[in-house]
Amino acid sequence: MSAPRPHAGGRAQRPDLLIFDVDGTLHDTFAWWAPVIRRGVELFGRREGIAVPPFDDRFAEGVVGMKDAGVWAPFLPAEHQHRWRDLRAVVLPLEIAEISSGRDYLFDGVRPLLDHLRALGVALAIASNCRAEYLEGICTGQGLRALTDWQFCLDSDGVADKTDMLRCAVAAAGAARPVMVGDREPDLEAAQALDIPFVWRANPRCDLAAAADFVWHGSPDELLGQLGLPRIS
């Protein structure tokens, strides 16, 4: 499903700014997230004397891309879900250690794709439903600061949600033809709020195909072709 929607026309063609979500779009969070969150939840439960219900990898992966309590509260019993910030404080150092370990967790083809887009003169921003410490870990540990022009998260100035991140990115770039690329519902909602074309990074955790201008399966040349840009090969 890589054809545009009937209404899309050329509105997603030859963008001057691409805004990428991070986890699940550029970064293969699923290569490490489930065991890390499981270890962190177990540590938190033992420390606090809380019986934390078990969960499988699919459940863990389902929260990736959500915001704040939407990420952390589902792992806690209902009566303790208000303590999601305490859980995050236990898990975050484990996350930072993993993404800073020297292992490349970006999806195959992401680095040459971003390099190619920059060579074409397309401005690049990332917008992540995370907080500043995690964003710093990703930007440093996975090299995304060097690969993009602007990086936004929930702690960025003037930001309360992903819609604000997109608005800030468009303003920073002075963009006339921005496109949002993401994998989850908050990415689509932000693009729709600003009437920005949306490319859905296909995944089994949700189905946004009907609402997307294009559906991207991960190949750099597929995305470049959809956007009317010269391919790498």
Q: CA–CA separation, 102 vs 178, rounded Å?
A: 32
Let me know: does 59 contact 21? Beta carbons within 8 Å. Answer: no
CATH number for the domain formed by residue range(s) 17-28+106-226: 3.40.50.1000
What are the domain boundaries of the chain? Answer: 17-28+106-226, 30-99
pLDDT per residue as tens, the chain (233 positions): 344 443 454 677 899 999 999 999 999 999 999 999 999 999 999 999 999 999 999 999 999 999 999 999 999 999 999 999 999 999 999 999 999 999 999 999 999 999 999 999 999 999 999 999 999 999 999 999 999 999 999 999 999 999 999 999 999 999 999 999 999 999 999 999 999 999 999 999 999 999 999 999 999 999 999 999 999 97
Q: How far is CA 1 from the centre of its chain?
A: 21
Q: CA–CA separation, 177 vs 161, rounded Å?
A: 21
Let me know: does 123 contact 20? Beta carbons within 8 Å. Answer: no
Task: Quote the pLDDT of residue 5.
Answer: 47
Task: Quote the pLDDT of residue 13.
Answer: 84
Task: Quote the pLDDT of residue 4.
Answer: 43
Cα angle for residues 96, 100, 103 (degrees, 5° grid): 130
Q: CA 93 → CA 103, 108, 125, distances in Å?
A: 16, 26, 25
- Identify the CA nearest to 20 among candidates 59, 65, 50: 65
